[in-house]
Amino acid sequence: MSEGFLEDKIRKRIKFEDELLNSRTTIFLGTNGLWAAAVGISNAFPLQVGISILGVLVSIMWVMCSWQSWEFIKALTIKYEKLSDDPIKLVAQDALWDHRLRPTNILAQWLPILFLSIWIFFLGWLIWSSI
């Protein structure tokens, strides 16, 4: 197997994994939006708590899925960069922000943790305010 073939195959897999991460993010954002709307229109405390617990559980699953995707994309990218002598890669490295601020990191790490934190905070506030 030639290096060019392997490089192309890895690049295609990175693209596939990015698209998969984007699809999963869309699903989880939509689901979280529905849970938040359900809590907002509900007047029943037990229902609000139940939906909030569901929001926490869904967000935990989102964290698990997105972090696994991020790790896989990162590993593929490292392998690709070792094989590639693409001059665009050098330009991209200079243009990109710190690795913690790149779009894949924001979608796969920051956003799920943010939503999980919001759900946990809201659930705590809901329970605390009822006491």
CA separation, residue 125 to residues 11, 45, 49, 52, 131 (Å): 45, 12, 10, 11, 10
Q: What is the pLDDT of residue 20?
A: 93
Write the single-letter amino acid at 10.
Answer: I
Please count the other Cβ atoms lying within 10 Å of the Cβ belonging to residue 87. 8
Q: What is the pLDDT of residue 125?
A: 94
User: Who's near 113: CB < 8 A, 6+ residues apart?
Assistant: 63
> Over its length of 131 residues, how does the chain's per-residue pLDDT go in tens digits?
566 788 889 989 999 999 999 999 999 999 999 989 998 898 899 999 999 999 999 999 999 999 999 999 989 988 887 887 766 665 556 556 556 667 888 888 999 999 999 999 999 999 999 88
As given in the structure block, the two tokens for residue 98 are: 């710190």
The C-alpha angle 102, 31, 13, rounded to 5 degrees, equals 45
| Cα–Cα distance for residue pair 53/35, rounded to 1 Å | 10
pTM over 0.85: no
Tokens found for residue 112: 């799920």
| 50 vs 53: CA distance, rounded Å | 5
Radius of gyration of the chain (CA): 20
Q: Domain residue spans in the chain?
A: 3-130
